Structure 1
Amino acid sequence: MRTAHLLLPLAAALALAACAQQDAAPADATPPAASAPAQPATAAPADTAPAADAITGVSGTYVLDPKHTDVIAQWSHFGFSNPIAHFGEVSGQIVYNAENVGASSVEVTLPLSGLNSHVGDFDDHLRSADFFDAARFPNATFKSTAVESAGTNKLKVTGDLTIKDITKPVVLDVTINKFGEQPMAKRAAAGFDAVATIKRSDFGVGAYAPNVSDDVELRITTEAVVAEGAAPAAPAAQ
């Protein structure tokens, strides 16, 4: 009888615990429905760059401003570096015909006295007979043979480049930067950038090729103003 009295409270405790577990269970034991597969994100359309506004050309004869004209040559040195040399003191003129771009022309003289790599000894070497032989051939020149439109604000200028009395055709890809009044000179001006690639061995300047690259990239920027006292023609009709 004593054992039965001890078992009754234990049984009651177990029954209460079972009830508590049932009360804690969620009322809805239905498993959650499977979620729908995620839809792939639709890529937003890429932004389209606005078309460049056409620059209105102004006919006239423009004289190169040597203070704001630079011809930069760049090449590979054994694949380790890509040094540059500047050709300054540039002179010449651009005749621009806005009504008939094909009638335009360019003439440029690059004196080797204006060559500057920012390393004096190297400049002397470049002017030596190993390269430009500047004592015998003091200038390089470019004279256009054809000018044609190549798209909005773009020109393709073909011409004869002469170095060391060797003349070869070169094509310049030209970007028209601006036509307008130069605010300091108070005269009409035109600005252009151009790029071209030449083989220096074509002009007798091929020492150490191909370890020093035969291909040389030329980058040109120029600002030109009409001669003092001269007036440019009216802008081309659009």
Structure 2
Amino acid sequence: MRIALVAVLALAAAPLLAQTPPAGPPGAPDATRVVSGTYQLDPRHSQVLFTVNHLGFTEYTGQFTAPTGTLVVDTANPGNSKVDVTIPIEKVLTTVVGLDTHLKTPDFFDAAKFPTAKFVSTKVTINGTSATIAGDLTLKDVTKPVVLTARFIGAGNATQGAKKLNFGFAATTSVKRSDFGINYGIPGVSDKVDLTINAGFVAP
């Protein structure tokens, strides 16, 4: 009985063992793989990170998860490309549950009154595999101009499902939180906030 069971398991495993493992990830830093069109931000693989200086001792990073948005790509005229990102304030997340709760209060983001923040581009300038994205950041009903420095990460077709084109970039900028009416804790917790948007996009 044991010999028969081992034989059955060996036959079942044979097709898996015969498969050739992938040579590498499907995405590559090749911008020519990206074609013109409108792409959706992938909330499962995108983050908005924020970093502050805490009491002069450490840098502390939190994040907003599950952002949404779109990117319009015009490869013939890259300057016509547009991006918008909506950030759910309720999705703020750090390593401290009590801090997560405090950040949602009027001391900081006031999530009940201002449930989302938003970035909308006004100008996109492409420089090889990097880009400068000027736009407006709206937070707590205050809109200020910001400039993102974006770095292309990679593009390629997904290996599962509909195997749609995916690509992404990482964008950084810095803002003063006091410009948006978030003054709690300054100067112990820095006014300057470094932002990073890790954005993954997928074809519709």
Structure 2 Cα separation of the partners of residues 183 and 210 of structure 1? 48
| 1:159 equivalenced with 2:132 (yes/no) | no
Partner of 1:118: 95
- 2:43 is aligned, of 66, 90, 93, to 66
Partner of 1:194: 171
| 1:105 equivalenced with 2:82 (yes/no) | yes
Matches within 5 A, 1:85-96: 85-96=62-73
5+ long unaligned stretches in structure 2: 1-28
TM-score by length of 1: 0.70
- 1:175 is aligned, of 151, 164, 167, to 151
Conserved 8 A contact 2:30-2:155: no
Question: How many angstroms does 1:70 deviate by?
Answer: 0.7
Partner of 2:113: 136
Conserved 8 A contact 1:69-1:220: yes
Structure 2 Cα separation of the partners of residues 97 and 161 of structure 1? 23
TM-score by length of 2: 0.82
Conserved 8 A contact 1:182-1:225: no
| 1:167-188 per-position Cα deviation (integer Å, ceiling 9, x unaligned) | 0001100011122212234001
Partner of 2:189: 212
RMSD: 1.3
Query: Share of identical aligned residues, percent?
Result: 41
Structure 1 Cα separation of the partners of residues 46 and 30 of structure 2? 23
The residue matched to 2:102 in structure 1 has which SS?
Answer: helix
Question: How many angstroms does 1:114 deviate by?
Answer: 1.1
Cα 1:63–1:54 shift into 2, 3 Å:
closer
Question: How many angstroms does 1:54 deviate by?
Answer: 6.0
Conserved 8 A contact 1:61-1:226: yes
The residue matched to 1:67 in structure 2 has which SS?
Answer: helix
Structure 2 Cα separation of the partners of residues 184 and 198 of structure 1? 38
| 1:226 equivalenced with 2:203 (yes/no) | yes
5+ long unaligned stretches in structure 1: 1-52, 228-238
Structure 2 Cα separation of the partners of residues 216 and 128 of structure 1? 18
Structure 1 Cα separation of the partners of residues 39 and 158 of structure 2? 12
Structure 1 Cα separation of the partners of residues 191 and 181 of structure 2? 11
Conserved 8 A contact 1:154-1:176: yes
